[in-house]
Amino acid sequence: MAGLLLLGLTFWAGLAPAQGDPKRGEYLSKAGGCLGCHTEARQGAVPYAGGRALETPFGVFYGPNITPHPQAGIGRWTEANFVRALREGRRPDGAHYYPAFPYPSFTRIVDADLRDLWAYLRLLPPSARESRPHELRWLYRWRLLLGIWKWLFFTPGAFVAEPQRPGVLNRGAYLVQALGHCGECHTPRNWLGAPKQDRFLAGVKGDDDGVPNLTPARLKKWSDGELKDFLANGLTPDGDVAGETMGEVIRNTTSQLAPADLDAVVAYLRSLPRLPDERK
């Protein structure tokens, strides 16, 4: 009898519309770095109300207001609109987003986590701050061209765990590839700005020192503890501090991870194939 009741309850739970959990959503938004790109970089800025400038070779993007304000933010969106934005890189009217919004990584966020993120964003205080238009070089102003870019380079789809891989490595892969979007900075790109997937996390040539290789070819010098310390508080083994860009990632994202998740990130980075440094 109790068994039947339990069976009935489980069946019912399976059919009931799943409600996202805002508490988990808050944690996931930290792991995804949503706050940094969607909040102006000044003291007293309203969280998630947009205005953060993101300099790229294509021009300057401004993270939009994603608070639930009905006009200025995404207050009139449905959960399905939100899922489509992150999974497919499309606006509710069907137009394409620029990959400055890292949906090529966020597409891998699983459905349950998207629901939790949505539940969290719904509870933010709405802000009437208008989103600022991007300032792009002329060729890049046409969102239509993004359709071609996506057709060439973008594969939508949630992360799927590999059953033969230990759970901790699947968790680490998910955090690095989907929410943490580490590859957006650490993976080299082709001339059209698409990441070279066979060089995943191999580092990028650039101004200053570029972006370092995260595969064991370079990180073997660091112990697990040193790597964890760096991701938790920005201190390198030789007593240096992280640069500005990675420093912000650490502040907003990796330092906020639960200890088990940080361990998973480190274990996954250790398991990557060694790739020669792209910066040379």
* List of residues contacting ligand HEC (CB under 6 A): 29, 32-34, 37-38, 54, 61, 63-64, 66, 74, 82, 85, 91, 97-98, 100-102, 106, 117, 176, 180-182, 184-186, 211-212, 214, 218, 230, 242-243, 245-246, 249, 253-254, 265
Residue 217 CA, distance from chain mean position: 24
d(CA 58, CA 54): 10
Burial class (CB in 10 A: 0-12, 13-18, 19+), 46: middle
CB of residue 252 vs ligand HEC: minimum separation in angstroms? 9
CB of residue 236 vs ligand HEC: minimum separation in angstroms? 6
CB of residue 22 vs ligand HEC: minimum separation in angstroms? 13
CB closer to ligand HEC, 135 vs 191 = 135
d(CA 99, CA 192): 12
d(CA 183, CA 199): 10
CB of residue 183 vs ligand HEC: minimum separation in angstroms? 8
d(CA 213, CA 162): 24
Contacts of residue 211, Cβ cutoff 8 Å, sequence gap at least 6:
185, 186, 203, 204, 279
CB closer to ligand HEC, 13 vs 41 = 41
Q: Indicate the residue whose CB is closest to ligand HEC.
A: 243
CB of residue 21 vs ligand HEC: minimum separation in angstroms? 15
CB closer to ligand HEC, 87 vs 181 = 181
**Six token digits for residue 114:** 């998207």
CB closer to ligand HEC, 54 vs 232 = 54
C-alpha torsion angle, residues 80, 84, 85, 86 (rounded to 10) = 110
CB closer to ligand HEC, 22 vs 180 = 180
